[in-house]
């Protein structure tokens, strides 16, 4: 049985290929990709404490935002 390797981009596998492509193009162009949400800064701050840097905290919060975006799609 093959071992499932966790995705480097959690939440992104829940979106269709077309949605992922569109989202990536908007992000590269510097356009708005959606609201960060009320809890973004709180998640980023707590993750920054846990992982040791502000940048890592922002990555964790962004992953949570992508998961929430995919969940809203359902």
Tell me the per-residue pLDDT of 32-45, one tens digit each, with 9 for 90 and over.
666 666 677 888 88
What is the pLDDT at residue 49? 92
Q: How far apart are alpha carbons 56 and 50 in whole angstroms? A: 9
Q: How far apart are alpha carbons 50 and 38 in whole angstroms? A: 20
In a domain, 70, yes or no: yes
What is the pLDDT at residue 20? 77
In a domain, 18, yes or no: no
> 23 Cβ partners below 8 Å, 6+ apart?
15, 33
> 68 Cβ partners below 8 Å, 6+ apart?
11, 37
pTM value surpassing 0.85: no
Using one digit for the tens of pLDDT, what is the confidence trace for 23-35? 778 777 777 666 6
Find the domain containing 66 and state its range: 36-74
Residues 4-29, mean pLDDT to the nearest whole number: 71
Domain count, the chain: 1
What is the pLDDT at residue 10? 60
- Residue among 46, 53, 32, 21 at smallest CA distance from 64: 46
């Amino acid at each position: 049985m093959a071992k499932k390797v966790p995705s480097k981009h959690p939440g992104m596998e829940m979106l269709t290929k077309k949605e992922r492509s569109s989202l990536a193009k908007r992000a590269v162009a510097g356009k708005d990709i959606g609201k960060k949400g009320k809890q973004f800064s709180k998640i980023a701050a707590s993750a920054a404490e846990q992982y040791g840097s502000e940048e890592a905290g922002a990555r964790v919060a962004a992953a949570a935002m992508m998961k929430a975006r995919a969940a809203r799609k359902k």
